[in-house]
Amino acid sequence: MDNGRRKFLGTSLAGAALAVSLPEIVKAAIAPATAAPKIRITENDVILFQGDSITDAGRDKKSDSPNNSGALGHGYALLAAANLLHTHATKQPLVYNKGISGNKVHQLAARWEEDCVSLKPNILSILIGVNDYWHTLSGNYDGTIQVYRDDYRKLLDRTMKALPHVKLIIGEPFAVNNVKAVTNDWFPAFDEYRAAAREIADEYRAVFIPYQRVFDEASKKTPASYWTGDGVHTTLAGSQLMAEAWLQAVK
């Protein structure tokens, strides 16, 4: 066998091994972090994705239609929704994305009635927190970790009062170190936001998705810049990684 053939086969096999192992990495990352049982998708469920730019992902904000590819953006929410709509087609779920770039928890609260409560979701997925820390670095926001905790709890208390039967999914805010915007200066302060999200998920019996661990594990296989362009916003591969992690929360 010539050297070119050997090189081709070696590259192909390495790629195949990576493709096979990534779902297992997601499962391994999530297993020790998930206390709540998986959420069962039922007939005509309304599923809402909420958060900041990672969830927004360039969605068409002029469209209010569920199950619409433009309205779902081009990130993990779209990819997770596509899988849900295919896998649970007979149950005809309705999937919305109402993430808005730049949002912090208090900005979710300001639009919560229109962008959450009025939709009456059965399943509510929230990923929020990176801006609550990141924006303090520029001096344009003076929130603290305690403000984040308090604002998040107030938001969920309000949600549970309005939607007592809603099933919650809370995503861990994440930052992939040494990729452009994210440096050692973020840590250990940002880790407090991750821990707070986990604490709150436990308090409200939400399914918790440990995105930080997922990205950390994936970055052992492929450089971190493959999964995120700036340490926060995902590439297409990173969005699929998040979608796979999210789908572990439901059945």
pLDDT in tens, 85-129: 999 999 999 999 999 999 999 999 999 999 999 999 999 999 999
- Residue 219, pLDDT above cutoff 80: yes
DSSP letters of the chain? Answer: --HHHHHHHHHHHHHHHHHHHHHHHHHHHHGGG--SPPBPP-TT-EEEEEESHHHHTT--TT---TT-TTTT-SSHHHHHHHHHHHHTGGG--EEEE---TT--HHHHHHTHHHHTGGG--SEEEEE--HHHHHHHHTTS----HHHHHHHHHHHHHHHHHH-TTPEEEEEPP---TTBTTB-GGGTTHHHHHHHHHHHHHHHTT-EEE-HHHHHHHHTTTS-GGGTBSSSSSB-HHHHHHHHHHHHTTB-
Average pLDDT over residues 35-47: 90
**Residue 123 contacts residue 46 (beta carbons within 8 Å):** yes
pLDDT in tens, 156-215: 999 999 999 999 999 999 999 999 999 999 999 999 999 999 999 999 999 999 999 999
Task: Look up the CATH architecture of domain 3-247.
Answer: 3-Layer(aba) Sandwich (3.40)
Of the pLDDT bands very low, low, confident and very high (cuts 50, 70, 90), residue 26 is confident
Distance CA(48)–CA(34), nearest Å, equals: 20
Rounded to two decimals, the pTM is 0.90
Of the pLDDT bands very low, low, confident and very high (cuts 50, 70, 90), residue 31 is low
pLDDT in tens, 124-150: 999 999 999 999 998 889 999 999 999
Residue 48 amino acid letter: L
- What pLDDT is stored for residue 32 in this prediction? 56
- What pLDDT is stored for residue 34 in this prediction? 54
